[in-house]
Structure 1
């Protein structure tokens, strides 16, 4: 009797376990659906981005070369001036008087040389008849040489006084945009040295320099690439989303700053409309090596496995395998894959979050990878602060 009960209990337990096994097999989840695509192959140009400021190719502080009384200002603040254009005039009368005095001294020296020449001729005639000594003749010859030197000195003094008279007209040393006048007519100014009064400043406007700092690593990369010709560069302003201005890299400093580990670089940017001003902030991107064919996948398809970056590849049998990859820059939402993928690999581009472990089966759906250009509103730009106040447009006319 006891044996029969044991057998019955064993049969009942076996039936229960078999039922549970059938139920668990019936509830096994289906293979998750994912979207796969082969990498997109496109020609890509690498860029290195930098921040910097615009600087004038030429900048001059205008100073008078002689001191004097400002008698006239001949430009409007902010005008575009050309090289040699008259900016200021100083009272020319002191310079004219000094020039007249120098010319009088020249005439006096010319009279002295005529007298010295006559005395020397007379002495040489008398020496032939032994009426004068040789010493007297030598004295007359020395007097003539002194008179000639006085003529040269007087001529130099005349030229100096002519320059002083010319310097009473202060002209633009370069073509460019002039600043406001620092002194008005009626003021006395000092001149003739670097400590003289600054009358105004002139900066050239076209072209313009864009100056920025690059790391030593960037310098090494560009030196090893040994580019032929000037490297192209593109620049945008702080309120712009696109790099709309182009130029070329025209200068690299001769040494790396040992304190910061960077080197100064400079680009030349056309500025025919004069919109770019010295001191403005900008962002630049410098072209690396020439364009190359690269494989690209959506940036969202790249997963992280500790320190590695991986993408999931689906085999022919539907099994998933992770592939470590070496990544490059981002291009219109797509990430450049430098190594780790083959052009025929089917990469999971949608449904990566459904992958629980390597080797699991999935149900792939083939698709194509397409770039997704970022909209202008998505670009990080700096916008001007809103106006402090506002009025209705017709409020100005109602005041009359």
Structure 2
């Protein structure tokens, strides 16, 4: 048995020696990645863009009463176009009228008291000149007179307020516009300052709000654009719009800034709350630079492109994006004519890599 094991070991040792003595061939250099590039050339592009839009009236007013009472009369039909000052609704005046009459009685009482206090003061003043009364009594009479004057002023103010409540029981249109559907009917209780009886909207002109990426703010701040409204069915609105204002803050949740456009609406075709899209035609600039959209790389909030230099070495270049035209993206800064930008094979390259050009 020992002899057999010795023979097996004798046969195995040359094999192990041969394997251990064989050297592995050294690994060759990694092959260069192959990429496709796009050579940047200046051109002129006519930019047309669309942004979702929401329409809103230039004025939207909730019609509320200043007084509490039951709705007594409706003077206009729902959906009517009304003029400023036109009577719309009437609230029961009985409470306001009773308060006014009470205030009127308080005024008359305060006037009578003031007349009495005035006579007392004059009489005491004459007696003081004859040394027939003390100075203290005159001072007290003067104080009573001033108090009566103040009480009369307060009573008159209460009467005026009551009169205002009677006037405000009649709701008039605060401006020209169109009313909607009333929320209450005759006999319903109206609570002062709370119950919305109806809504009045002025929709000529009408506003269209769109949200722009904050990076595009300067593009639209230069002017020269044309704005068109498109309905959901693709139909274009007949009137052109214009910029009314741009909001003064950027929404931190979306990174957008709101622009408000104004459109004429003489026929009332457009309604507050409608949605659609605003199509923006920007003037064609000269010698613009654009690259295929797929060449843009977003990394940690930064926008870059891979540029191949004359030695075929990859350089990562920060760029500033502009509008998209078909499959091309206009680049406002970061690239110039003659640059070669990687469009295919981006995932295979890094800063400083040497590449082959397909």
Q: TM-score, normalised to structure 2's length?
A: 0.66
Instruction: State the Cα deviation string for residues 317-352 of structure 1 (Å, max 9, x = none).
Output: xxxxxxxxxx9736xxxxx9x9989xxxxxxxxxxx
Q: Which residue of 2 aligns with 1:329?
A: 325
Maintained 8 Å contact 2:45/2:325: no
Matches within 5 A, 1:1-400: 45-191=46-192, 193=193, 196-223=194-221, 226-227=222-223, 232-242=226-236, 244-288=238-282, 290-292=283-285, 329=325
Q: Cα gap change, 1:100/1:273 in structure 2, threshold over 3 Å: closer, same or farther?
A: same
Aligned equivalents of 2:243, 2:87: Cα separation in 1: 35
Maintained 8 Å contact 1:236/1:242: yes
Q: Which residue of 2 aligns with 1:388?
A: none
Deviation at 1:253, TM superposition (A): 1.4
Maintained 8 Å contact 2:228/2:236: no
Maintained 8 Å contact 1:84/1:173: yes
Aligned equivalents of 1:118, 1:51: Cα separation in 2: 77
Deviation at 1:307, TM superposition (A): 6.0
Deviation at 1:140, TM superposition (A): 0.6
Deviation at 1:206, TM superposition (A): 0.6
Aligned equivalents of 2:208, 2:102: Cα separation in 1: 52
Larger deviation: 237-246 or 276-285? Answer: 237-246
Q: Cα gap change, 1:188/1:242 in structure 2, threshold over 3 Å: closer, same or farther?
A: closer
Aligned equivalents of 1:238, 1:100: Cα separation in 2: 59
Aligned equivalents of 1:328, 1:183: Cα separation in 2: 51
Aligned equivalents of 1:92, 1:167: Cα separation in 2: 9
Deviation at 1:125, TM superposition (A): 0.7
Maintained 8 Å contact 2:226/2:281: yes
Q: Cα gap change, 1:101/1:283 in structure 2, threshold over 3 Å: closer, same or farther?
A: same
Aligned-residue RMSD, C-alpha: 3.2
Deviation at 1:48, TM superposition (A): 3.0
Aligned equivalents of 1:65, 1:287: Cα separation in 2: 48
Q: Cα gap change, 1:265/1:307 in structure 2, threshold over 3 Å: closer, same or farther?
A: closer
Maintained 8 Å contact 1:64/1:170: yes
Maintained 8 Å contact 1:48/1:286: yes
Aligned equivalents of 1:98, 1:242: Cα separation in 2: 57
Matched residue SS, 1:127: helix
Aligned equivalents of 1:77, 1:141: Cα separation in 2: 60
Aligned equivalents of 2:197, 2:253: Cα separation in 1: 38
Q: Report the number of matched residues.
A: 263
